[in-house]
Amino acid sequence: MIFIKSNNLLIVKKEQLTYIQFPKLLNCGKVKHLFSTRHGGVSLGDCSSMNLGFNRGEPYEHTIKNYEILCSAEDIDTKNLVLSHQTHTNNVKIVDKSHCGTGYSKPPFCDVDGLITNDKNVALVTQYADCTPLLFCDPVKEVIASSHSGWRGTIKLIGKVTVEKMISEFGCDPKDIIVGIGPCIKECCYEIDDPVYNEFEKLSFLDLSKIFTPKKAGKYMLNLVEANRQILISCGISPKNIDCSDICTCCNSKDLHSHRATKGKRGNLAAIIQLK
């Protein structure tokens, strides 16, 4: 039985497969996209059943089969997939059809946590197990991006770096850009301490009162969705163009892979986006 629910995002069920979509990205009519859940794949054990990570210790052919199942639901050709090895940087790379298969049938990019393209033959893939997914589309310039933003990527402003690269390389107007902030560990489950809080405190434009809830001495609950929302707004994204997830991966660890909930015994979720 699937328990995951959302007031902000769409939960799509196709037979055994369940995935998540962003209403604003759907309504723009320019992209195919989805965010996976644990349901509908062939993985076993801790990775069950839909694992999209090639480094989680399960048979390679299981992960390939999961991508085939997931991508077929939105008519995405797996030959178009581009993946990177994510290391909590703010490195964002522009890719095109010459990069197709990277990280899937060829070695991945290393130390890259964000991908951008204006090529309709490229499907961008980023992976998660509590960190924050950021999916971007400029429907005017027809440019898409996907960035992986854990707390380290958030304080390194990977969302801002992504938007600035869309502007500088493709002439995007931030007022046109639509963003989906996806399921991640939320403030109900994400306790951090003073060193992390102090890093956010250096970002003087953030309203920390809306991002942190103080707990016992030196401890806080962190709202990564709100932190990324504020960062995106600061670089010109309209609040009305942002879908914000209300789904916590840790609370819903039976439906979504969560590193914290399982103490690392888990698979990977994936966000996939491609221009139509």
Closest by CA position to 149, among listed 141, 140, 158: 158
Task: Work out the pLDDT band at 111, boundaries 50, 70, 90.
Answer: very high
- Ordered by where they begin, the domains of the chain are 10-275 (3.60.140.10)
The rounded mean pLDDT for the chain is 97
Could you read off the pLDDT of 5-29 as tens digits, one per residue? 999 999 999 999 999 999 999 999 9
Please state the length of the chain: 276
- Rounded to an integer, the average pLDDT of 57-64 is 97
Quickly list DSSP for 60-80.
HHHHHHHHHHHHHTTT--GGG
3 or 232: whose pLDDT is higher? 232
Give the pLDDT confidence score for residue 1 in this predicted structure.
72
Residue 193 CA to residue 37 CA, distance in Å, equals 29
Residue 178 CA to residue 181 CA, distance in Å, equals 10
- Rounded to an integer, the average pLDDT of 47-52 is 98
Phi-psi region of 69 (alpha: psi -120 to 50; beta: other; left: phi over 0): alpha
Cβ(56)–Cβ(47) under 8 Å?
Answer: yes
pTM of model > 0.85: yes
Closest by CA position to 51, among listed 40, 248, 15: 40
Q: Residue 185: what residue type?
A: I
Residue 183 three-state SS: coil
Residue % of the chain over a pLDDT of 90: 98
Q: Treating both helix axes as pointing N-terminal to C-terminal, what angle do 158-170 and 224-234 enclose, rounded to 10 degrees?
A: 30
Residue 224 CA to residue 187 CA, distance in Å, equals 8
Give the pLDDT confidence score for residue 107 in this predicted structure.
95
- Residues sharing a CB contact under 8 Å with residue 194, sequence separation 6 or more, in sequence order: 218
